[in-house]
Amino acid sequence: MELTSQIGGSVVDGIAYLGGLASLGGRAAYFTFVAPFRGRPLRLRQAISQAMQVGVRALPILSLITFFIGLILALQSAYELRKLGAITFVANAVAISMTRELGPLITAIVVIGRSGSAFAAEIGTMKVSEEIDALETMAIHPVDFLVTPKFLAMIVMLPCLTIWANSMGILGGALFGVAQADFTWMRYIQASLDALFLRDIVTGLVKSVMFGITITAVGCYEGLSTGAGAEQVGRSTTRAVVVSIFLVILVDLVFTSLFFFMTEH
């Protein structure tokens, strides 16, 4: 009895949480897509500075990580492929798993660590120091002022970062291909391009947009629901990272199965 009520409680809490995220996302979508046509200019300047922070500054670390992931993928698939004497298929394996799955996912995880946590910490600190209240008393909507530029930046930057991550991953695979599988750089890249269909890249990018929305919604929601006190900011930041990773993987599962069943026939 105790157990069922606990399970019920968690389910209700979970649904309420998703409801909170959806309502925040809805309001941000209103300020991004509807309000500009009602005389409220879009906050492009803030969005661009956020995009710098979220996107451009993430490039060095993202490049390094995805290059290594590409290399790891090549090593792992070659381990199996060379038993079949099909080591030249390494290029296909790396290209497809990067663009369809690991490019978007690794990008999302790097962005959660860098930006999702930063969103929660920034907004949480503002909440604790009454800056959010100050915005409201100045008739400035916190979602409009703080959340919308972040959404805009993430929706644009995550697909861009994902494309970059895909290329760096393929480059990482190429290093193995050239060193161990008698490829030249040009031939490896040609083989990767031949292996890819447009839909592999597009499904990855669709997922990355969804990841961007999820990460921003969770980071900002956690920030806005920060309680009183500095330790609450830490709690929000941790929760933002943990919940974002969980939800990104959940969204990934949903979309991957959607794409799988859509292309079945």
Partner 1 sequence: MAHADEQTETMISLRNLRVSYGDREILHGINFDVTRGETLVILGGSGSGKSTLLRTLVGLEKPSSGEIWLRGKNLASISSTEMDEIRKRIGMSFQGGALFGSMTVGENVALPLREHTKLEDSTIGIILRLKLDQVGLAGFENYMPSQLSGGMKKRAAVARALAMDPEILFFDEPSAGLDPIIAAGVDQLILELKKAFHMTIIVVTHELASAFLIADRMVLIDKGNVVAIGTVEEMRSSTHPRVRQFLDRIAEPEVAQELDYLQMLTEITRPGR
Question: Could you tell me which of 201, 170, 179 has the C-alpha nearest to residue 92?
Answer: 170
Beta strands in the chain (DSSP E): none
Q: How far is the CB of 125 from partner 1 (least distance, A)?
A: 8
Is residue 13 at the binding interface for partner 1, with CB under 8 A as the rule?
no
Q: At a CB cut-off of 8 Å and minimum separation 6, what does 43 contact?
A: 144, 145, 148, 149, 152
Does 133 bind partner 1 (CB under 8 A)? Our answer is yes
Which H or E run includes 183? none
Q: At 109, which helix (H) or strand (E)?
A: helix 103-111
Alpha-carbon span 136 to 224, nearest angstrom: 13
φ, ψ of residue 81 to 5 degrees: the values are -65, -35
Could you say which residues in the range 98-127 bind partner 1, by CB under 8 A? 125-126
The answer for residues whose C-beta is within 8 angstroms of residue 178's C-beta and 6 or more apart is 184, 185, 188
Q: Of 130 and 182, which CB lies nearer to partner 1 in the complex structure?
A: 130
Closest to partner 1 by CB, 138 or 198: 138
List 11, 18, 44, 134, residue binding partner 1 (CB under 8 A):
134
Q: Is 194 in the site for partner 1 (CB under 8 A)?
A: no
- Give me the sign of the Cα torsion angle 86, 92, 97, 102: positive
Answer for which of 6, 10, 23, 129 binds partner 1 (CB under 8 A) is 129
Is residue 84 within the footprint of partner 1 (CB under 8 A)?
A: no
Stretch that binds partner 1, among 58-66, 128-136, 187-195, 247-255 (CB under 8 A): 128-136
Closest to partner 1 by CB, 41 vs 85, is 41
Instruction: Kindly state the smallest distance separating residue 223's Cβ from partner 1, in Å.
Output: 14
Q: Tokens 């500054």 correspond to what residue?
A: 57
* Residues binding partner 1: number (CB under 8 A): 12
Q: Candidates 130, 182, 194, 231: give the one binding partner 1 (CB under 8 A).
A: 130
**Least distance to partner 1 from the beta carbon of 137, Å?**
4
Task: Report the interface residues with partner 1, using CB under 8 A.
Answer: 125-126, 129-131, 133-134, 136-140
